[in-house]
Copies of this chain bind each other. A is one copy, B any other.
Amino acid sequence: PRPVRAHRGTQLHTLGWQQEGALRMLQNNLDPEVAEHPDELVVYGGTGKAARDWASFDALTRTLATLKGDETMLVQSGRPVGIMQTHEWAPRVLLANSNLVGDWANWDEFRRLEQLGLTMYGQMTAGSWIYIGTQGILQGTFETFAAVATQRFNGTLAGTITLTGGLGGMGGAQPLAVTMNGGVAICVDVDPSRIARRIEHRYLDVQADSLDHAIELATQARDARRPLSIGVLGNAAAVFPALLKMGAPIDIVTDQTSAHDPLAYLPLEHTMDDWHAARERDPIGFAAAARASMAVQVEAMVGFQRAGAEVFDYGNNIRTEAKAAGFADAFSFPGFVPAYIRPLFAQGKGPFRWAALSGDPADIAATDKAVLELFPENESLQRWIPLAQERVHFQGLPARICWLGYGERDVAGERFNDMVASGELSAPVAIGRDHLDSGSVASPYRETEAMKDGSDAIADWPLLNALVNTASGATWVSIHHGGGVGIGRSIHAGQVVVADGSALAGQKVQRVLTNDPGMGVIRHIDAGYTEGEAVVEQYGVRIPMREH
């Protein structure tokens, strides 16, 4: 264990910028500003790691330092296992993380193999070296609320009130994401320290003294079409029904309490103070009580839905738990992916991101300006970038995330490459994305839940995605198992391409950033979604079964 920080500036520590990009992004994932537990090589998401162990980390960096421009390093679950001669168009690094044969794809076997030192949990962007800190969560949440706005509220949340629960690590992005979309948010958490923390970090605006106070603040702001986020201290299983009963004018309801783990959800009959003692005394009884409270909360959510509100599950599994506790109508409202994200995926839209390898925030400022100029008609982008500039504190290498689609990503990438070539940027840029993207993931409990044609569990698509990115000039490509929702539940792929300003990199960027979102377009066309048809038409995406 030792502190790791990415190299900055223009001096190379490797034989070329493609290799340097991989080296710096690996290092950056372990920067104490970026990683949750850098000493254990854990980047984020439970135990999502960037390298299997410190000996592997040293071998990775040592190998990258001498890797030639026509060689490729192979990484098996965070450990470098080979160096092979390939060619200039080939990736410099190929990674496979946490993959298990189906019948063995469970946490027990995984932990056994991990104990033996044979694997590591790669999560999504941890083991594929393109995590950029909490900006990703903020932007994903922003994009979800933007999609809610587009679908239901004429493109803005101005004049609406959102009710949600949970102000934790992920859920804490909700108030800011709502206000960035122009709306008012009432956010309920049982833990006063969480509310205080979000206010301190300027993710949450104010705390209300009471429910009545919260409604008063909310309606005033809503009527003035003024963004405002309001924290409410209380148990969501009590507050949600109370607000419903009071007839509070709520337009949108969701929840990000940690309902996926019943021991991390406070039941009505317990207080913050006895939470830990109670669940240790009787974990089974505590979990049952938590589920029963979730049922009460979900029943209130369905009540809001029946009263006309837009209601959705935000990926914390609260519907399943509520149903298990006996509330039969728990699945009355949809999950957020089928409801809002899938139409974006169908157009090849997803969490595009890039990092300035120079370490210079001015490089990100210049790219921000460039994308704003390139896509004047992309409204959510036009709203997001200035807000991000104002609110997002860089962690590690300066980086930016924004959702771009097919026909946009390649344009942005080529522009960045030109800016490197012309010196507008001081050093190359690493361009990648989350694995939670349009054509790169099979995950029947989340990204591919309830696919129109029933193809939720088909995993050919992320594998084709990895293969085609490898064949298109990506700088590194990864295939992972179990990210986001756990071992046995997902297969997904990542890619990063380094825009180093060379003509070759320009071609690589063009192909990768076309073909990668292209997988999302063809995957959704194949499943019968129509949102991508306009993209197919406009850009001439080729669908062999349609050609005659």
Interface residues of A (CB under 8 A from B): 55-56, 59-60, 62-63, 72-74, 76-77, 79-87, 89-91, 94, 96-106, 109, 112-113, 116, 118-119, 442-444, 453-461, 463-464, 466-468, 470-473, 477, 479, 481-482, 487-491, 507, 511, 514-515, 518-519, 522-523, 526, 541-545, 547-548
- Contacting pair B464 A467 (CB below 8 A): no
Shortest distance in angstroms between A439's beta carbon and chain B's nearest beta carbon?
A: 10
- Contacting pair B457 A467 (CB below 8 A): no
When chains A and B are docked, how far (Å) is the Cα of A408 from the Cα of B482? 38
Give which listed residue, B481, B487, B542, contacts A82 with CB less than 8 A.
Answer: B542
Give which listed residue, B85, B86, B91, B102, contacts A489 with CB less than 8 A.
Answer: B102
- Contacting pair A56 B100 (CB below 8 A): no
A467-B477 contact given A59-B544, A85-B514, CB 8 Å threshold: yes
Contacts of A468 in B (CB 8 A): 72, 74, 82, 84, 86, 94
Shortest distance in angstroms between A422's beta carbon and chain B's nearest beta carbon?
A: 25
- Contacting pair B471 A72 (CB below 8 A): yes
Contacts of A79 in B (CB 8 A): 545
- Contacting pair A90 B464 (CB below 8 A): no
When chains A and B are docked, how far (Å) is the Cα of A544 from the Cα of B75? 10
- Contacting pair B545 A80 (CB below 8 A): yes
A63-B104 contact given A90-B471, A470-B467, CB 8 Å threshold: no
Shortest distance in angstroms between A342's beta carbon and chain B's nearest beta carbon?
A: 17
When chains A and B are docked, how far (Å) is the Cα of A86 from the Cα of B511? 6
- Contacting pair A454 B87 (CB below 8 A): no
When chains A and B are docked, how far (Å) is the Cα of A104 from the Cα of B466? 21
Of chain B, the residue at the smallest CB distance from A545 is: B59
Give the number of times this chain occurs in the complex, counting copies.
2
Give which listed residue, B56, B73, B547, contacts A59 with CB less than 8 A.
Answer: B547
Shortest distance in angstroms between A56's beta carbon and chain B's nearest beta carbon?
A: 7
Shortest distance in angstroms between A391's beta carbon and chain B's nearest beta carbon?
A: 36
A472-B82 contact given A458-B99, A458-B118, CB 8 Å threshold: no
When chains A and B are docked, how far (Å) is the Cα of A514 from the Cα of B86? 10
- Contacting pair B87 A467 (CB below 8 A): no
- Contacting pair A542 B83 (CB below 8 A): yes
- Contacting pair B545 A55 (CB below 8 A): yes
Of chain B, the residue at the smallest CB distance from A489 is: B103
When chains A and B are docked, how far (Å) is the Cα of A530 from the Cα of B368? 54
- Contacting pair B467 A479 (CB below 8 A): yes
- Contacting pair A544 B80 (CB below 8 A): yes
- Contacting pair B488 A101 (CB below 8 A): yes
Shortest distance in angstroms between A479's beta carbon and chain B's nearest beta carbon?
A: 5
Shortest distance in angstroms between A393's beta carbon and chain B's nearest beta carbon?
A: 35
When chains A and B are docked, how far (Å) is the Cα of A27 from the Cα of B67? 41
Contacts of A458 in B (CB 8 A): 76-77, 99-100, 113, 118-119
- Contacting pair A97 B460 (CB below 8 A): yes
Contacts of A103 in B (CB 8 A): 105, 444, 457, 488-489
When chains A and B are docked, how far (Å) is the Cα of A542 from the Cα of B100? 25
Give which listed residue, B80, B102, B119, B459, contacts A488 with CB less than 8 A.
Answer: B102
- Contacting pair B460 A77 (CB below 8 A): yes
Contacts of A542 in B (CB 8 A): 82-84
Contacts of A544 in B (CB 8 A): 59-60, 62-63, 73, 80-83
- Contacting pair A86 B463 (CB below 8 A): no
Given A86-B471, A99-B458, A463-B466, 19 more pairs with CB closer than 8 A? A63-B544, A63-B547, A81-B543, A84-B472, A84-B514, A86-B472, A87-B471, A96-B459, A96-B464, A97-B460, A101-B442, A101-B488, A102-B106, A102-B489, A104-B457, A118-B458, A119-B458, A467-B470, A470-B471
A62-B101 contact given A85-B511, A116-B453, A454-B118, CB 8 Å threshold: no
Q: Give me 7 A-to-B residue pairs in the complex whose CB atoms sit less than 8 angstroms apart, sorted by A's number.
A: A62-B544, A74-B468, A84-B515, A94-B464, A97-B460, A100-B457, A467-B477
Give which listed residue, B84, B488, B543, B547, contacts A62 with CB less than 8 A.
Answer: B547
Contacts of A87 in B (CB 8 A): 89, 471-473, 507, 511
Contacts of A472 in B (CB 8 A): 84, 86-87, 90
When chains A and B are docked, how far (Å) is the Cα of A543 from the Cα of B84? 10
When chains A and B are docked, how far (Å) is the Cα of A113 from the Cα of B448? 15
Contacts of A479 in B (CB 8 A): 463, 467
Shortest distance in angstroms between A345's beta carbon and chain B's nearest beta carbon?
A: 16
